[in-house]
Every structure is written in structure tokens, then in C-alpha cells.
């Protein structure tokens, strides 16, 4: 039996007039004005062979914008191994409330996804969620930076869309170069945390990015045509280096985070503002905003990183890096970028959905007939304070608690099913 969902009075991308959308079995099958329940039922019986379905829902979107649900390519599920920070249910609920239909999870779990056996264990721990979860497999065994995983074997798994050692990083450039070549040969991309540290090595983000860009240029000159992705670029010099490499024909992308284009180091009040890379100077924030406005920055990702209140209460020097971000992704993008006139809502949608999904080969919603019905309605008419009480994540480590924001999702649909509704 087919499942139908009729969205009434939606405004795609906040542009033009009001329209309705009919969704059948996870796909948009009709977009038109004034669709009625009678037409809904007629569509059910279009071939004359089906009976009326009782699996149907009609939702009034009240003239609010409708955009494809977000695709977040930088998250930490903490499951399995660290469920005291975040578990499968809380992660799923946070994504649904945040209007996120698809995520990529970093490999900082226990076990690490460095083998097929470990990967299956991780998938089992995260099954039956409200959002699609894909994974970065580890670049090195145990993410220890010393021995490459079986990149070719792991690449064959449909849930693996890239490789990363998360915050530990691969600081051996010769080993990293081998990983890039092997991943690219298998149609995958390395996602680098270029600010990374480990007990034996430490380097600033800019120095690491410059070193990795030089490596990519060397591979390009050797005819290897490398593909590469930089996670959470946060300062001006690193940003300019990556943009220059792309202008020179290297297939490189980078992501920026909502906290780095919304906050600076002068905003720091407590350990909920501690993350890696850290909050930067106003000039760095300005450079990120300019990159977004000019189209040089093409991907926004959250780096959602839950930590408990006890962990964050250890004092600034001893507290772990990281903040949660799934639930504030869309309101921060809307408040800081769209409402201020820096970009349009349609461009914002490309930054949080089309571009990250396309880069890593992920499914994403499209507001068109036959398009995948992964959709979200942000309330762009209401400005309100983000509260600790509303947070669905198990951890509450957000620097945006108490901040006025506009554009909170009020309806999230994944594969044609309503997973969050606050209309």
C-alpha cells in the first residue's frame, strides 16, 4: 500500500507564490496550487487498480518556506562507545529537530570503523534512526596515524563515503599522500582535520593546510588529479590557501561551520565556546563571510560534537573541545547569512544540502517532481531564544543557548515521512 503526504500552502525556497506538494512513497509526484483531498484520492487510484489508502496525511505549511532537508557532512554520533555523551536516539532526535535528513559520521567511536567487522558493529548500534547515516572510515588503523586501513575494501561498503582520522589527523605527509591516492582510486575523498594534534606532533591550522595544499599541488603536477576535502577551515590564511589551490585547478573543497561565521574569540564566556579549531579573530570571521558571499565557500557543516556537562565543567584548560550543532544549523544559517542579506535562502540551501551531498555522493531532497522528499519547513516569521530545555541531544554544550535566532525548523520530512512536526 502506498503512503501519501500532502503539503498545503508551502513556499519553495521562500520565493514566488504558495503551492502544494503531493508526496508518494518518498518522492514528490505533483507540485501545483490548490490540490484537494479529492485529487489526492484520485491520484491514489490513477491506474484503477488500487483502493483508497488510509496511510495519508495532510499538513498545512502556513505559507512558510520549504527547502530540502540539510545534509551534514561533519558529525560525531558518539555511538558506540561514548553513549554518555550521545546515543542513537538522542542523535536521531537532534537531527530530526534540526531539519537534517542525512549525516556523515566521523570515526571517533569505539570501535573505530577501520575494518568491516567494526563497521557492522557501528551500523548495528545506530540502526533504526530518523535520519540517514553514512560514515567516514578511518584512514589509519585505530586512527593512530601509523598504518593505513584497507581503503580499497572499505570503499566497497555502500555506507562509506569518505575517509578521515577525525581530530587526531594524519600528520605523516608521506602516509597521507598514499591515502589520498588510494582513496581517489576507489572513488572516495579524504576529509582532513588540519588543525589536529597528537602526543607526538602539533601544528597550527595554517601550517598544516599549507603543507597539505603543497602535497596536493605535487600530486596534481604528477598527473594524479587529487580530490580532497578540508574540514572546518577557520582562519583567513588557510582559507585563502585552499581557494588559491582550487583556482589553480585542484579538485579541493572545504567546509565552514556556523560557529566560526557567527562567533569570535571575544565572544567566549565559558567552556561551551571551546572547540577545535578555536574561535578566531574578527578578521577571520569576516574572511569566512566574504567567502560565503562570493561563492568561494560551498559547504557548511556543524562539527556536531556532544560532551556532557560534567566534562565541560572541568575548567577551560581541561574541558574537551567541541559543541553540539545539529539543532542550530538552519537557524544560524538563516539568521547570520540570509536574514542579513549576505545570501539568499536558495543559496543557503545549496550550502547545507546540495553541495555537501554532491561532494560525497549522498542522497538529498529536491523540490521537483520525482525529487526525493527530504524536506524541511523553517519558521522564518518567528524570532525566539534558543533554550537548553528544548535541546534533543543528550549533551547541552552549545554556546548559542540564550541567543535569539530565526528560522528554526517546524517540520522535517525524511523519505516522505514526518520525523518532526512543530507546526
Active site residues: 303
CA atoms within 13 A on the CB side of 95: 35
Spatial distance between the Cα atoms of 213 and 71, rounded to a whole number of angstroms: 26
Question: Grid coordinates standing for 314?
Answer: 572541568
Spatial distance between the Cα atoms of 101 and 105, rounded to a whole number of angstroms: 13
Among 194, 197, 185, 209, smallest CA distance to 164 is for 194
Rounded to the nearest 5°, which phi and psi values hold at 13? 60, 15
Where are any strands of DSSP class E within 138-264?
A: 160-163, 190-192, 197-198, 201-202, 227-230, 251-256
Question: Grid coordinates standing for 91?
Answer: 542523535
| Cα distance from N-terminal residue to C-terminal residue, the chain | 27
CB atoms within 10 A of CB 147: 11
Spatial distance between the Cα atoms of 304 and 325, rounded to a whole number of angstroms: 5
Spatial distance between the Cα atoms of 397 and 308, rounded to a whole number of angstroms: 7
For 208, 262, 274, 420, the CA distances from 311, given in Å and listed in that order, are 28, 24, 12, 30
Burial class (CB in 10 A: 0-12, 13-18, 19+), 57: middle
Spatial distance between the Cα atoms of 209 and 118, rounded to a whole number of angstroms: 30
Amino acid at each position: 500500500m502506498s503512503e501519501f503526504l500532502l503539503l498545503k500552502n508551502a513556499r519553495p525556497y521562500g520565493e514566488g507564490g504558495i503551492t502544494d506538494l503531493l508526496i508518494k512513497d518518498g518522492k514528490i509526484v505533483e507540485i501545483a496550487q490548490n490540490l484537494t483531498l479529492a485529487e489526492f484520492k484520485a491520484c491514489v487510484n490513477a491506474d484503477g487498480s488500487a483502493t483508497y489508502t488510509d496511510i495519508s496525511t495532510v499538513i498545512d505549511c502556513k505559507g512558510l518556506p520549504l527547502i530540502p532537508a540539510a545534509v551534514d557532512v561533519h558529525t560525531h554520533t558518539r555511538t558506540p562507545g561514548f553513549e554518555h555523551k550521545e546515543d542513537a536516539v538522542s542523535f536521531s532526535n537532534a537531527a530530526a529537530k534540526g531539519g537534517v535528513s542525512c549525516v556523515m559520521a566521523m570515526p571517533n567511536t569505539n570501535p573505530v570503523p577501520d575494518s568491516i567487522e567494526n563497521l557492522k558493529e557501528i551500523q548495528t548500534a545506530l540502526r533504526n534512526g530518523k535520519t540517514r547515516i553514512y560514515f567516514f572510515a578511518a584512514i589509519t588503523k585505530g586512527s593512530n596515524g601509523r598504518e593505513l586501513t584497507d581503503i580499497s575494501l572499505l570503499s566497497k561498503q555502500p555506507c562509506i563515503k569518505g575517509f578521515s582520522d577525525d581530530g587526531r589527523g594524519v600528520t605523516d605527509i608521506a602516509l597521507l599522500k598514499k591515502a589520498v591516492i588510494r582513496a581517489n582510486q576507489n572513488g572516495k575523498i579524504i576529509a582532513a582535520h588540519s588543525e589536529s594534534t597528537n602526543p607526538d606532533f602539533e601544528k597550527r591550522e595554517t601550517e598544516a593546510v599549507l603543507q597539505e595544499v603543497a602535497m596536493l599541488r605535487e600530486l596534481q603536477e604528477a598527473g594524479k588529479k587529487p580530490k580532497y576535502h578540508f574540514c572546518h577551515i577557520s582562519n583567513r590564511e588557510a582559507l585563502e590557501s585552499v581557494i588559491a589551490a582550487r583556482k589553480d585547478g585542484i579538485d579541493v573543497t572545504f567546509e565552514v561551520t556556523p560557529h566560526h561565521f557567527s562567533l569570535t574569540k571575544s565572544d567566549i564566556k565559558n567552556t561551551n565556546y571551546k572547540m577545535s579549531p578555536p574561535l578566531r579573530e574578527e578578521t577571520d570571521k569576516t574572511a569566512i563571510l566574504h567567502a560565503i558571499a562570493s561563492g568561494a565557500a560551498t559547504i557548511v557543516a556543524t562539527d556536531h560534537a556532544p560532551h556532557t556537562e560534567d566534562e565541560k565543567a572541568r575548567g577551560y584548560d581541561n574541558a574537551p573541545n567541541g559543541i553540539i550543532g545539529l539543532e542550530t544549523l538552519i537557524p544560524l544559517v538563516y539568521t547570520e547569512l540570509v536574514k542579513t542579506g549576505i545570501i539568499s535562502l536558495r543559496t543557503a540551501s545549496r550550502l547545507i544540502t546540495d553541495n555537501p551531498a554532491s561532494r560525497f555522493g549522498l542522497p538529498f531532497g529536491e523540490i521537483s517532481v520525482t525529487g526525493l522528499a527530504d524536506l524541511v519547513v523553517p519558521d522564518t516569521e518567528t524570532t525566539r531564544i534558543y533554550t537548553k530545555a528544548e535541546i534533543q541531544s543528550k549533551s547541552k554544550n552549545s554556546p548559542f543557548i540564550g541567543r535569539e535566532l530565526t528560522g528554526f525548523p517546524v517540520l522535517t520530512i525524511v523519505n516522505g515521512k514526518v520525523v518532526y512536526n512543530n507546526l
